[in-house]
Amino acid sequence: MPEIRGTAAPTTAPPAPGGGHDRRRQILALLCACVVLVVGMVAAINLAIPKIGDSGLHPSSSELLWIVDSYVIVFAGLLIPAGVFGDHFGHRRALSSGLAVFVLGSVVSAVSTGSTLLIAGRAVMGIGAALVLPATLSVIVNVFPPAERPQAIASWTAMTGLGGVVGNLGGGAVLQYLPWQSLFWASAPIALALLLLVRAAVPITPVRQVSQDPVGAALLIGGFLSLLYAIIEGPGEGWASAPVLVGFAAAVVLLVAFVLYELKREHPLLDPRLFKLPKIRSGALGIGVTFFGMFALFFVNAQYLQYVKDFSPLATGLGILPLAAGMLLVSRRSIGLAKRFGARPVVAAGIGSVTVGLALLSLADRHTPYPLYALYLLIMAAGAGLTAPPLSMGIMGSLPPTQAGLGSGINSSTRELGSALGVAIVGTVLNARFSTSLPDALKGSHSSAQAIRDSEALGVEEHLRVVDSFTHALTIGYRIVAVVVLVAGLLVTTWFREPKSQPASPS
C-alpha cells in the first residue's frame, strides 16, 4: 500500500473529535449552500447560451463552448492544488478566499463586452470555485465525528448534484425576464453573503505543513487545458490540423511529465501511488464518469427544451426538477443501501442507471412528450444518487483527516474534469453533426441558436427539418457519452473493493 506523504502539524485543536462540533448541523447547511452556488454556476450558464448567442458578443460555436467550459477547466485543474492549499493554510481561509475571488469573477463576467473578457471572467470564477469546493468537504470531515461522517458526506455529495439542478432553476428564473448579464450580477451578492457567514460561523480546523508544488500544479493544469482545447477546437480547426494535434500531444506530454515529476518529489502535490488504493482509483473514475454523463445532459437539456420543445428559460429550469427529486431521494439512502447490500452492487446499479438514462434520452425528438422525457431524467438522477455518495466516502475514507483537503481535491477535481469533458465532447459532437446537415442558406451560423432561429425565415417545413437535424445530432452525442459511461463503469465495478488493510498514516 502506498505511503501517504506529508507531516501532520495541527496549529489548532480539532473541534471535539469524539462528539463533533456543537453547531455542525448549521455549519453543514452553510457549506452545502456554498457547494450549490459554485456547482450551480456550472449548469446555469447553459440556460444563457441562447441569449449569449443572440447578443452583441456574436460568439462562434467554439467560443460558446469556451464560455461554458473555461469555468469548469480552471475549476477542475485547480481543485487538487486548492485542496492542498486548504490543508496547509487552513480550510476556512481557503473557503473565504475562494468566495471573494468568485465575487470578483462574477463582476468581470457581468461587465464583459466581448467573448474574450467573458471567458476570462468565467475563468476567474473557476479559481474561486476551486478554492471553495474542497474546503467545504474538508471542514465537514473535521467537524463531524466518525459515526456521523458518512451521512454528512452523503449530504454534501447530494448538493454537488443538486447544485446543477438549482443552477438550472435559478438561471431559468433570472433569464426569463432579464439579460444574460443578470446571471452574474445575481451570483456576486450571494457569494458575498456566504463569505460573511463563513467568517462568522466556520471554525478553524487542523492544518498540516506541506511544501508547495507550483511546478506540479502547472503541469496538471496545462495537461487538462491542452486536452480540452484539442477536443473543443477539433471540429472547427480539423482533427488533423496542427493546432489540434499539438493540443493532444501537449496533453500527453504534460500529464506524463506530471506523473514522473510527482513520483520523484518528497512531498508531492498528488502522489500517483495513491491510485493503487482501490477506492481512490475506482472512486475517482466513477465520480468523473458519472458527472461526465450528468453535465453532458445539462449542456444539451437546456438547448433541447428551448430550441426543440419551445420552452421558456423559466420552464426549462423547472423542466429539470425530476433530476433534483431523484437525486435528493436516492442519495439520502445510498449509504444505507451500501451498508445493507454492499457498496459495489450499489455503485454498479448507479452507473448502469446513468447509462440507461443516457440511452433513453438519445431517443428524444420533437415528438417526445415531456412526461416521458421526465422519466428519462429520473432514471439518470437515480443513478447519480446511488453512485456518488459511496464513491466519495471511499475516497475520503482512504485518507486520514489531516489530508481531507487532498482527498476532497481528488474527489472534486475528477468530478469537474468529468463535467468539463462531458460538455466538451457532447458539444463538439453536436456542433459537428448539426453544422454539416444545415442547408446552404444557414451555413456559417455562429451558433445552433442562430441557425434554428434563422431557419424560421425559410418556412415551416425547412424549420422543422433543421430542428430534426438538431435532435439527430443530440442522439449521436448522447449515445457516444453513454458508451463512454458504460465502459468506464465496467472498470469502476472491477476495481471497487475493500482494501486488505487500512491506509497508512502520515509519516
As separate numbers, helices (DSSP H) first and strands (DSSP E) second, the chain gives 16, 2
The pLDDT tens digits of the residues spanning 2-51 come to 444 433 333 343 444 455 667 888 899 999 999 999 988 877 887 888 78
CA distance 421 to 285: 13
pLDDT-derived band of residue 426, with 50, 70 and 90 as boundaries?
Answer: confident
The pLDDT tens digits of the residues spanning 407-420 come to 777 877 787 778 77
With a CB cutoff of 8 Å and minimum separation 6, the contacts of 46 are 68, 168, 171, 298, 299, 301, 302, 303
| Residue 112 DSSP code | -
CA distance 495 to 319: 36
What are the respective helix, strand and coil percentages of the chain, to the nearest 5? 80, 0, 20
Average pLDDT over residues 388-409: 77
The pLDDT tens digits of the residues spanning 212-248 come to 678 888 888 888 788 878 877 776 677 778 888 999 9
What integer pLDDT is reported at residue 271 of this predicted model? Answer: 81
Q: What is the DSSP string of 442-490?
A: GTT-SSHHHHHHHHGGG-HHHHHHHHHHHHHHHHHHHHHHHHHHHHHHH
**So what's the architecture of 21-203+269-495 in CATH?**
Up-down Bundle (1.20)
For residue 45, the Cα-to-chain-centroid distance in whole angstroms is: 13
Picking from 29-43, 271-285, 287-301, 430-444, which range would have the lowest pLDDT averaged per residue? Answer: 430-444
Which residues are 209's β-sheet partners?
Answer: 7
Residue carrying the nine cell digits 442562430: 450
Coil vs helix vs strand at 144: coil
The C-alpha cell that represents 112 in the structure block: 464583459
- Kindly list the distances between the CA atom of residue 342 and the CA atoms of 193, 346, 380, 490, 496, in Å, as whole numbers in the listed order: 41, 7, 21, 17, 11
Which residues are 208's β-sheet partners?
Answer: 8
This prediction's pTM: 0.71
The C-alpha cell that represents 332 in the structure block: 439520502
The pLDDT tens digits of the residues spanning 99-150 come to 999 999 999 999 998 899 999 999 999 999 999 988 898 888 888 888 888 7
Average pLDDT over residues 79-83: 79
At residue 217's C-alpha, the angle toward residues 416 and 117, to 5°, is 65
> Which residue from 401, 398, 400 is spatially nearest to 501, judged by alpha carbons?
398
pLDDT-derived band of residue 445, with 50, 70 and 90 as boundaries?
Answer: low
The pLDDT tens digits of the residues spanning 449-488 come to 667 777 777 788 888 888 888 888 889 999 999 999 999 9
What integer pLDDT is reported at residue 8 of this predicted model? Answer: 35
Coil vs helix vs strand at 8: strand
CA distance 388 to 154: 8
What integer pLDDT is reported at residue 336 of this predicted model? Answer: 84
- Kindly list the distances between the CA atom of residue 494 and the CA atoms of 27, 230, 280, 350, in Å, as whole numbers in the listed order: 37, 30, 13, 14
395 near 285, Cβ under 8 Å?
Answer: no
CA distance 418 to 347: 17
